[in-house]
């Protein structure tokens, strides 16, 4: 996604690590409810939120706008990933079919060749016919 700023590497953490020591969360207030204490920090946007404003998703506590965006983003790659193995399988099946057809018709050709050809007599009879 090009419209999004690159997320700092430290932001993607499990929910248990959101309330890490050293973070003065108690001093922070929810960015939406200034009268409430912040209990979690959204790992995506970095904003502090009260319990009501965050919900758990994929083991992380996200604020509502970030959750909506994450869910929308998570759906798109899944759809793309669903088709890749199918296309690969179709390609494999096609090449297997082509190989099978090649060997099948090669086999038909071998069967049609008279046994005299394999035994070398075909050349002798050819020479005899030309005499
Ligand atoms: Zn957020
Ligand atoms: Zn709130």
> Which H helix or E strand runs over 124?
helix 121-130
Q: Indicate whether 12 pLDDT > 60.
A: no
Instruction: Tell how far the Cα of 72 is from the centroid of ligand 2, in angstroms.
Output: 22
Distance CA 45, CA 62 (A): 9
Average pLDDT over residues 108-121: 78
Distance CA 100, CA 94 (A): 10
Tell me what percent of the residues of the chain surpass a pLDDT of 70: 73
Average pLDDT over residues 86-113: 92
Question: Considering the chain, what is the average pLDDT of its residues?
Answer: 79
Ligand (nearest to CA of 60): 1
Q: Is 68 helix (H, G, I), strand (E, B) or coil?
A: helix
Higher local confidence (pLDDT), 101 or 70: 101
| CA distance to 2, 19, 84, 85, per residue, from 88 (Å) | 28, 44, 6, 5
Q: Is 80 helix (H, G, I), strand (E, B) or coil?
A: helix
Distance CA 38, CA 50 (A): 4
61 dihedral zone (left: phi>0; alpha: psi -120 to 50; beta): beta
Question: pTM of the prediction?
Answer: 0.39
Ligand (nearest to CA of 70): 1
Q: Indicate whether 13 pLDDT > 50.
A: no
Is the separation of the CB atoms in 64 and 47 below 8 Å?
no
Instruction: Tell how far the Cα of 12 is from the centroid of ligand 2, in angstroms.
Output: 21
Domain ranges of the chain: 9-102
> Which H helix or E strand runs over 92?
helix 64-112
Which tens digit of pLDDT belongs to each residue from 58-97? 888 999 999 999 888 877 765 566 788 888 999 999 999 9
Note residues around ion ligand 2 (Cβ under 5 angstroms).
30, 32-33, 50, 53
Tell me what pLDDT residue 6 has.
53
């Amino acid at each position: 996604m090009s419209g999004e700023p690159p997320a700092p590497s430290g932001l993607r953490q499990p929910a248990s690590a959101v309330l890490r020591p050293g973070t003065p969360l108690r001093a922070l207030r929810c960015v939406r409810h200034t009268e409430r204490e912040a209990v979690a920090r959204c790992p995506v946007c970095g904003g502090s939120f009260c319990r009501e404003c965050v919900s758990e998703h994929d083991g992380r506590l996200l604020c509502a706008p970030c959750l909506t965006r994450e869910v929308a983003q998570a759906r798109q790659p899944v759809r793309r990933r669903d088709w890749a193995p199918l296309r690969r399988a179709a390609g494999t099946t096609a090449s297997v079919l082509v190989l099978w057809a090649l060997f099948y018709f090669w086999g038909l050709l071998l069967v049609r060749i008279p046994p005299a050809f394999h035994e070398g007599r075909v050349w002798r009879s050819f020479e005899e016919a030309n005499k």
